[in-house]
Amino acid sequence: MSATAVERPARVPDGMRRELAGRVGRAAWRAGRAELRKNLANPGGLVVSGLFLLVVAGMLAALWSAAAEANGGAVAGYTAAALVWYVTISEITTISQRMQFIDELGDDIGSGRVETALLRPVPMVVLLWAAQVGGALPRLAACCLGGLPLAAVIAGAPPSWPAAALAIPATLLAVTINITGQHVFAAAAFWLRNARATWFVYQKLVFVLGGMLLPLEVLPDWLESIAQWLPFMAMAYVPARLAAGYVEPELLFVQAFWLVALATIAIIVFARGERRLVEAGA
C-alpha cells in the first residue's frame, strides 16, 4: 500500500453517512426531550419565568407608553399599542433564554469538566444545542402565558393579525437563533478558559443591537444601519416588529439566513476548540 493511500482519509459510504446522521439526530432529539421534561418537572421555575416576564414587560410597556405619550402618541413610527406589543414579544424571546449558559459552559471548558462530553460518539455542540432548545420551550410557553394577556390588557388586540401570525414562527426562530449564537460566543472559552466577559457582552449586544430594549428605529441612524446587518436583530427585533403590526414576511428569510450562518460557525469553532482541547489539554 502506498504512503499516499494511507494518508488519504477513507471515504465514508453514503449509507453509513446517512446512518451516522440518523444517530446524531436521534441523540439530539433525546437530549432535547430530556431537558424539556426536566423543565416541565419544575413548575416552580416556570412560574418564576412567567412572573419575571410580567414584571419586565410591564415595566418596559409603562416606559414606552409614557414615551409615546410625551412624543405626540408615537415613537419612530410605533404607536403606544405597537410599542407595548413590541416590548412584550422582545422580552418573551429573551427571558425564555438562559444566557448564563455561556458562562457555565465557559466554566466547564476552563475547569476541564467538559472532557467527559467529548467521549460521547456525537458532536458535543449538537447535544448542547438540542438540550438548550428543549429547555427553552417550556420557558417560552410560560413567558407567553404571562406576557400575551398582559399586552392584550394594556394595548388591546395585536395591531395586525397577519403580522401577529408571522410573529409566531419568528419567535420560535428567534429563540433558536439566540441559542445558536450563544454557542458561537461560548466557544471563546476554548481559547480564553472563561466566558464571563463574553456572556456579559453578548447579553448587552442582544439588549441594544438586538432591539430587546428599544426598536432599532429609535437608535441613531448610523447605529441602526449597523444593527440591521448583525445577527442580534434576528433574536428579538424581528418577532417584536412583526408583533407590532408590520407585515414584513421577508424578515423570516433574514432569520433563516442567520440561523444557518450561526449554526455553521458554531460547528466550525467547536470542532476547532475541541481539537485544541484534545491536543493541549484543559
Chain contacts with other proteins (rule: CB under 8 A)? 44-45, 47-48, 51-52, 55-56, 58-59, 62-63, 65-67, 70-71, 75-76, 196-197, 200-201, 204, 207-208, 213-214, 218-220
- Nearer to other proteins by Cβ, of 125 and 219: the residue is 219
Comparing CA positions, the residue from 89, 98, 210, 99 lying closest to residue 151 is 89
Q: How far is the CB of 258 from other proteins (least distance, A)?
A: 22
- Nearer to other proteins by Cβ, of 62 and 118: the residue is 62
Q: How far is the CB of 121 from other proteins (least distance, A)?
A: 36
Angle at the Cα of 37 (from 119 to 90), degrees rounded to 5? 100
- Nearer to other proteins by Cβ, of 67 and 117: the residue is 67
Locate all alpha helices (DSSP H) within 80-215, ordered by sequence. Answer: 80-95, 101-111, 115-118, 124-155, 161-186, 189-192, 196-208
Q: Letter for the amino acid at 267?
A: I
* Site of grid cell 437530549: 31
Q: How far is the CB of 69 from other proteins (least distance, A)?
A: 8
- Nearer to other proteins by Cβ, of 56 and 92: the residue is 56
Comparing CA positions, the residue from 243, 91, 255 lying closest to residue 167 is 243
- Nearer to other proteins by Cβ, of 51 and 260: the residue is 51
Helix axes 43-70, 80-95, angle to 10 degrees: 150
Q: How far is the CB of 65 from other proteins (least distance, A)?
A: 8
Q: How far is the CB of 236 from other proteins (least distance, A)?
A: 14
